[in-house]
Each structure stands twice: as C-alpha cells, then as structure tokens.
C-alpha cells in the first residue's frame, strides 16, 4: 500500500529489539538519534512502516528534535485476526519503556514521547489511555499474557479512527467483490452465528472461522480470523453493548463513550492534549456518518462537558479530501496537511510538558 512514496534507496535508521521477538525501527535520516520520539502504530494488516504517509512525517521531522519509531506488534501483518487490544497496548508499553530508557541513556532526562495511531492503531491509543493501568483481564485464550504498567505519555494522536462495525455495514449495504447485498447479508449472518457458537463451545482457546466465508466478506484470504476477534470487530450487540473494538461507531451513546474517551482524564496517562484527525474522504466511513458531529461528541465526552481540556480543539478535525490511509495518487495535499498538524502539535508538546 503506497510503497511508491518511500525513498527507493531505503531509509536509514536503527532497529530496536524491545523484547526478544518484537522490534521497532527508528528513522534517523542518517543523523543519529534525537531526544524526542513518536511511536507510530498502524492498522489491521500493517507492520513495520507499511502506512505510506509515515515517509512524509519522517521527512517533516528531519529539522526537528523528534524521531519516529515504527513498531512491529504480535498482531502485525496477517496476525490481527487472533490479536486483542490488551496485548497490543501491553507490547506498546514495553516498547515505550525501551524508548524512554534508550533516550535517557543518550540525552539524559527530559525526553518526550508521543503515541500516534492510524486506523486500528487509534483504537490502541484510546485503549492505552482509557483502560486500567495495568490491565486487569485474564483471557483464557491468551494464557501467556503478562500485563505491564503503562508509562505516561507526553502526547497522543489518532488518525483515521474508524468503526470496523460501520465499515462492515457499508460492505453489506452496497455489496462487495461482485457479491450482492443480499448475498453478503447471508454470509454475515452465517459468520455471526458460527462465531457465537464457536465462543460458546470452543473452550478456553480461540477458534478460527472458515476462511472460505471470511474472504467472501472482504477479509484477506491469507488472514485467519478467530470467532472472538470477529465478534469484537463487528460487535453485533452494539450500540447497547459494544464489544472491545467498537470504540468509534457513530451511534454509540455518551454512556458508552464515557467508558473510553471519558476515562482519559481519570487514568492520568496523558500529559498533553489528544489530537484526533479524521480523513475527510475516508472510504471506510459510510456516507450516513456525520464526521463533524462525531468529533464534536467525542470532544464533549473527553472534556467532560468543558470541565477538562484534554481534546486538542485547535488541531483536531477533518483532513480535507484525505482517503483512509492518504495513500492514493492524489493525496499529496492531504499528506502535507497531516504533517503540518503533527509538527505543530509536537512543538506544543515541547512547550507545554515538562
């Protein structure tokens, strides 16, 4: 996706092992490390630097004191179908701790760190900031999971926070890959039924849905998806009882939003404000969703009706004409807009945090 935007000679940097098996790549532009850091987390199917606009952000950071890290989580590439947000954010916390120790060893105290997420990476940002610290879950399907205490962030950025549930509804409504809406509705209902049955009778393990069905529905044919993760993404009990991954749907009420956006202040894991950038022409967002109204509702809940100032009102908003990942041939202006907002935000992080 968008590899043509990357320098053909490659990008200089440092590969960091933050666990025995997981890595993050720090872009250094050949000038060595810098004191401050952005940790970038992509969406479903992403891995190291697979989101094309990262190249634009890296280029914009060259004259600054910030470097960007692209992280590779257990759920990267084709593994998202068996992933979950607690594991993602535990691994992000481990990476942040590694970055903080590394930068302190190079520059002493005073380093800043900002977590930036694209698409499902935005779910990771919000999950990181809003859930108990450390996490309290004990998932039987992930027995090796060890929760860690998540370090405080100097800043948080969410780009293209979209509802997987509404994206699925859009596919079913309009048809996909030559299949009619009626055909896709039948496949969707079959998958939900199989997933619920698998959850009821699968014991303490994840059970994989048939790829022959999930690929008809638009999921990649090389990506296994568990019953549990499928139900989390499509969240059939929403909006009354949204599943873990259903954070950004436009029909969620203030009570449900209060459990995510509304918990940021209480958890105290964000020193500066939260910047939220929604792609103005996001192909994953149905036309029936009023993006400006959604952002206004998120801001209201985040700021507790004006009692707090967590939402970055000055910079948050729509990126005009931006596609979901800003990766199309006509996306030069949206990418420049994004970079300008990110650089402005980082400058204020340095000014406002200690």
DSSP string across 15-76 = EEESSSS-EEEEE-TTS---SEEEEEE--TT--TT-STTHHHHHHHHTTSSEEEEEE--TT-
Number of H helices, E strands in the chain: 11, 8
Structure tokens at 113: 């760190």
| pLDDT of 3 over the 90 cut | no
Residue 158: its H or E element? strand 155-159
Which of 21-25, 96-100, 169-173, 203-207 is predicted with the least confidence, judged by mean pLDDT? 203-207
Average pLDDT for 19-48: 93
Question: Helix or strand or coil: residue 165?
Answer: helix
Distance CA 150, CA 135 (A): 9
Give the residue from 196, 225, 195, 178 showing the smallest Cα distance to 44. 225
Predicted confidence at residue 202, as pLDDT, reads: 73
Q: What is the pTM of this model?
A: 0.96
Taking only the tens place, the pLDDT of each residue in 183-236 is 999 999 999 999 999 999 877 889 999 999 999 888 999 999 999 999 999 999
What is the structure's pLDDT at 308?
A: 96
3-state helix, strand, coil in the chain (%, to 5): 40, 15, 45
Pairing of strands 155-159, 317-319: unpaired
Q: State residue 2's pLDDT score.
A: 34
Identify the burial level of 305 via C-beta atoms within 10 angstroms of its C-beta, where 0-12 means exposed, 13-18 middle and 19 or more buried. Answer: exposed
- Residues 94 and 236: their CA atoms lie apart, in Å, by 32
Kindly state the DSSP code that residue 319 receives in the 8-state scheme. E
Q: What is the pLDDT of residue 135?
A: 98
Position 249 pLDDT exceeds 90: yes
pLDDT at 181 over 60: yes
User: For residue 149, how far is the Cα from the chain centroid?
Assistant: 20
Sheet order of strands, 155-159 included: 13-17, 23-27, 66-71, 36-41, 113-118, 155-159, 274-279, 317-319
The predicted-structure confidence for 62-84, as pLDDT tens digits, reads as follows 999 999 999 999 999 999 999 99
Q: Which residue has the higher pLDDT, 99 or 329?
A: 99
Q: Model confidence at 29, in pLDDT bands (50, 70, 90)?
A: confident
Which stretch of DSSP H or E encloses residue 117?
strand 113-118
| Average pLDDT along the chain | 94
So what's the pLDDT on residue 296?
A: 98
For residue 1, the model assigns a pLDDT of 32
Q: Among 310, 312, 313, which Cα is nearest to 271's?
A: 310
Spatial distance between the Cα atoms of 294 and 300, rounded to a whole number of angstroms: 10
Question: Taking the CB of residue 218, how many other CB atoms lie within 10 A of it?
Answer: 16
| pLDDT tens for each residue of 112-149 | 999 999 999 999 999 999 999 999 999 999 999 999 99
Task: Specify the CATH number of the domain 3-162+250-352.
Answer: 3.40.50.1820
Give the 3-state secondary structure of residue 289: coil
Confidence tier at 11 by pLDDT (50, 70, 90): confident
CATH 3.40.50.1820 location in the chain: 3-162+250-352
**Calpha distance 227→201 (Å, rounded):** 11
If 0-12 CB within 10 Å is exposed, 13-18 middle and 19+ buried, where does residue 3 land?
A: exposed
272-302 pLDDT per residue, tens: 999 999 999 999 999 999 999 999 999 999 9
Q: For residue range 307-340, what is the model confidence (pLDDT) as tens digits?
A: 999 999 999 999 999 999 999 889 999 999 999 9
Gap between the Cα atoms of 106 and 35, Å rounded: 8
């Amino acid at each position: 996706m968008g590899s043509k935007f990357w320098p053909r000679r490659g990008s200089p940097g440092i590969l960091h092992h933050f666990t025995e098996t997981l890595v993050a790549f720090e872009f250094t532009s050949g000038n060595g490390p810098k004191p401050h850091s952005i940790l970038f987390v992509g969406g479903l199917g992403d891995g190291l630097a697979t989101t094309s606009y990262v190249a634009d952000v890296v280029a914009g950071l060259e004259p600054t004191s910030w470097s960007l890290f692209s992280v590779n989580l257990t759920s990267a590439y084709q593994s998202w179908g068996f992933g979950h947000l607690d594991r993602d954010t535990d691994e992000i916390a481990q990476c942040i701790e590694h970055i903080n120790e590394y930068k302190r060893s190079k520059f002493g105290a005073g380093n800043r760190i900002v977590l930036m997420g694209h698409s499902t990476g935005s779910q990771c940002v919000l999950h990181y900031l809003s859930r108990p610290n450390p996490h309290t879950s004990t998932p039987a399907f992930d027995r090796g999971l060890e929760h860690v205490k998540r370090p405080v962030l100097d800043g948080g950025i969410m780009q293209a926070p979209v509802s997987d549930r509404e994206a699925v509804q859009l596919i079913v409504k309009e048809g996909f890959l030559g299949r009619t809406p009626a055909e896709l509705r039948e496949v969707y209902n079959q998958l939900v039924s199989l997933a619920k049955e698998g959850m009821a009778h699968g014991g303490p393990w994840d059970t994989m849905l048939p790829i022959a069905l999930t690929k008809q529905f638009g999921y990649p044919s090389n990506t296994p998806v568990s019953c549990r993760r499928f139900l989390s993404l499509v969240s059939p009990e929403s909006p009354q009882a949204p599943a873990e991954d259903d954070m950004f749907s436009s029909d969620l009420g203030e009570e449900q939003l209060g459990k995510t956006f509304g918990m940021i202040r209480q958890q105290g894991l964000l020193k500066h404000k939260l910047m939220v950038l929604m792609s103005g022409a996001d192909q994953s967002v149905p036309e029936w969703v009023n993006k400006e109204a959604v952002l206004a509702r998120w801001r209201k809940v985040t700021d507790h009706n004006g009692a707090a100032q967590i939402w970055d009102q000055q910079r948050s908003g729509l990126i005009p004409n931006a596609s979901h990942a800003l990766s199309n041939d006509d996306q030069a202006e949206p990418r420049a807009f994004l970079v300008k907002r990110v650089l402005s935000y980082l400058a204020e992080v340095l000014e406002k945090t200690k």
